[in-house]
């Protein structure tokens, strides 16, 4: 997946802007994805920004296969971030 890595590496120029932003943020990874290569991006991004990396139900594409569960979790995440 050289293209995906290229996007991740080039997005690093945006990190300072994200760090200066006044919007709370998290990265997220699906529990069912385990330690898959694409999960590592969420953990690494959280480490570099820094921000929390949270686990959500399901896998990499659960927002499409279990949309109502994903929506409920996303709503909870957003409400929690609003209070931070």
Report pLDDT for 1.
44
Contact by Cβ (8 Å): 80, 52: no
With a pLDDT cut of 90, the percent of the chain lying above it is: 58
> What would the two tokens of residue 62 be?
């659960």
Burial class from Cβ neighbours inside 10 Å (0-12, 13-18, 19+) for residue 10 reads: exposed
Q: Return d(Cα 43, Cα 64) in angstroms, integer.
A: 22
Indicate the DSSP class of residue 14. G
The model's pTM = 0.75
Q: pLDDT tens for residues 23-42?
A: 899 999 999 999 999 899 99
């Amino acid at each position: 997946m050289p293209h995906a890595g290229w996007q991740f590496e080039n997005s690093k120029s945006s990190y300072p802007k994200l760090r200066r932003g006044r919007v709370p943020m998290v990265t997220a990874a699906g529990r069912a994805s385990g330690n898959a290569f694409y999960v590592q991006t969420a953990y690494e991004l959280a480490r570099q920004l820094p921000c929390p990396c949270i686990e959500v139900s399901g896998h990499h594409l659960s927002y499409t296969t279990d949309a109502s569960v994903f929506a409920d979790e996303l709503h909870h995440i957003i409400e929690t971030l609003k209070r931070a």
